[in-house]
Amino acid sequence: MKEIMVEVIGVEPPCKNCQATLKNIEEAVSELKASGFSIRVSKLNMASKDVTAKYGVVVSPSLVVNGVVRIVGRVPDKKEVERILRATIK
């Protein structure tokens, strides 16, 4: 099974929305991993010039899945994250 790369782009220290986004992503990933999915999550600092150059994201929080920006500037709920990740596998 192909590994899914999930990147959460936010500010450091994390704001309330970035923390909520990361929590929802971690909950969704935990459930999917229990179902056999291979998912790796990393947090990126939006202030990094490399991150902004690579993704063009200037609003946090943002969600990137396998190099594709999926959500910008809002907190996704756990179910939305699950749908996005499941669709990535298909």
Tokens of 15: 């704001």
Tokens of 46: 């939006």
Give me the mean pLDDT over the 10-34 stretch: 95
- Is the pLDDT at 2 greater than 90? The verdict is no
Q: Which residues contact 77 (CB under 8 A, 6 or more apart)?
A: 24
- Is the pLDDT at 5 greater than 90? The verdict is yes
Domain limits, the chain = 4-89
- pLDDT value of residue 1: 61
Say whether pTM exceeds 0.85. Answer: yes
- pLDDT value of residue 36: 87
Tokens of 72: 């910008």
CATH classification code of 4-89: 3.40.30.10
- List phi, psi (to 5°) of 68: -110, 125
Report which DSSP code applies to 2: P
Give the model confidence (pLDDT) of 27-75 as tens digits.
999 999 998 889 999 999 999 999 999 999 999 999 999 999 999 999 9
Residue with tokens 């010039």: 49
Give 38 or 1, the one with higher predicted confidence. Answer: 38
